[in-house]
Structure 1
């Protein structure tokens, strides 16, 4: 099965987003067939604000390290870290990944859809096997956030060769139903607290990403553990040190041997 085919299975593709090797190892151990990265988590781990292009080197390094895991890997590359389609295509072609998310905004504002469309064309020429998930940020930034405007952007990206459309911030059931009816590609959204995976599937959604939620929840959990110890409350149980250490030992051993464990195959 290819990464593309995971988007057409009976069950929705739930894609957890990792921010470092440890979180990727944990998601893989939990049985998720595919893992994405989160630019927010990667940036936050380095003390940088999100969506400012600062995650490039850290993201390249992270996907380079976790590409040996026996799961599919999709990289969040923000807007491609460049306005030049050729540079973006070269970046993607050099990544050992099965997919990328690339967005149509910069500095918190939407860009002309022709900008992202040109990047998609270049990526598909340079790395046709990579699943390009084109992110429409209209609802995320509340700009041109109408169904008609989003569908127009999605069409431009589909025509350019995108394999999927990601619409973070879209959560209203009626809106989601209209979007999936008008987009001929798998539609991806972030977790919607008020809707179950079955609800989203029935609305036509094919992929759900956790985004930065696991990172933010992990930080909250870490603080809560420290508070529990301080306040003499019961401390939550966690994966044992021995089990966590063994994951890292196995990972380091695999990396040292140069074992390629990913089920990466050309998309069709």
Structure 2
């Protein structure tokens, strides 16, 4: 992997100057082997999914010990020559300095940070202050994707997501991710949010390229898949296993 500062700059540049129908597509590798597959296919960067990595390590989503998650990210980074951003949930309770140090030690060029814990939304202003501390420690060495959990925590009003986005962008977030946002509200979110917007893709729902292009036209700057790709691969393995038993 190239030096981290260069990798972070490369990763940040991928998010800007994109045409509406040309979002940045970031597959989510769950281990070194899947990372190599995606990199060799030509994707310019990758974004690990915490749930997919958890499944690979034998944990439920949200139950992976921090040490094991950072070690898994490091193995993925070592396996490829493209920038890798890491989903580190809500930061595992780590102070900003330690969180940044551990991400950089793993070789990550960015991180995904959630604004809820144990199923409960965090106070947005307090979370913004924490994000600002992360940014102050990281400087330009990490691309910060601030996940907004309002939609998945039962708050359907897009205004709530837009309000949180404004706070997080002001705190230094490079991108925001209103996870679970209905496709129909993407144009509204796009018009109300400054900077790049991450949207979750759903692999397997129709022709992939057309669906990704549509999400880009609706407002997605970049598209990630959470554990969707890992779960699709798991289904394929189940089919192979069933064939072996016939």
Once residues 134 and 94 of structure 2 are traced to their aligned partners in structure 1, the CA distance between those partners, rounded to angstroms, is 13
User: 1:135 corresponds to which residue?
Assistant: 147
Q: CA deviation at 1:83?
A: 6.1
After superposition, the C-alpha distances for 1:55-78 in whole angstroms (9 at most, x for unaligned) are 422221122223242111000010
Gaps of 5+ in 1: 232-268
Q: 2:15 is matched with which residue?
A: 7
Q: Which residue of 1 aligns with 2:229?
A: 214
Contact 1:89–1:119 (8 Å) recurs in 2: no
Counterpart in the other structure of 1:120: 131
The 5-angstrom pairing of residues 236-251 of structure 1 reads none
1:93, distance to aligned residue in structure 2 (A): 4.5
Structure-2 separation of matches of 1:155 and 1:26: 36
In the alignment, what sits opposite 2:114? 103
For the pair shown, the structure with the greater C-alpha radius of gyration is: 1
Alpha-carbon distance in 2 for matches of 1:61, 1:79: 17
Q: Secondary structure at the match of 1:208?
A: strand
- TM-score when normalising by structure 2: 0.86
Residue 158 of structure 1, CA deviation: 0.7
1:152-191 deviation line (CA, Å, top 9, x unaligned): 1111101100000011111332x11000110011000111
Q: Give distance in 2, aligned partners of 1:120 and 1:95.
A: 20
Please report the TM-score for the alignment, with normalisation by the length of structure 1. Answer: 0.79
1:88 aligns with 2:102: no
Contact 1:51 1:106 (C-alpha < 8 Å) held by counterparts: no
Hey, which of these two has a bigger chunk of helix by percent? 2
Q: CA RMSD in A?
A: 1.9
More divergent stretch after superposition (114-123 vs 125-134): 114-123
Q: Is the 8 A contact 1:85 1:118 kept in 2?
A: no
> Are 1:35 and 2:46 counterparts?
yes
The aligned counterpart of 1:56 is 66
Deviation per residue, 1:197-243 (Å, 9 max, x gap): 12111112100001101111111110101112323xxxxxxxxxxxx
Question: How many residues align structurally?
Answer: 228
What is the match of residue 163 of structure 1? 174
Residues in 2 aligned to 1:44 and 1:109: alpha-carbon distance in whole angstroms: 23
Paired position in structure 1 for 2:158: 147
Q: CA deviation digits over 1:27-86, x for unaligned, max 9?
A: 11111111111111111222221124x242222112222324211100001001116444
CA distance in 1: counterparts of 2:34 and 2:65, whole angstroms = 17
Separation in structure 1 between the aligned mates of residue 171 and residue 106 of structure 2, nearest angstrom: 21
Distance, in Å, in 1 between the alignment partners of 2:55 and 2:47 is 16
Distance (whole Å) between structure 2 residues aligned to residue 47 and residue 93 of structure 1: 25
Contact 1:89 1:122 in 2 (8 A): no
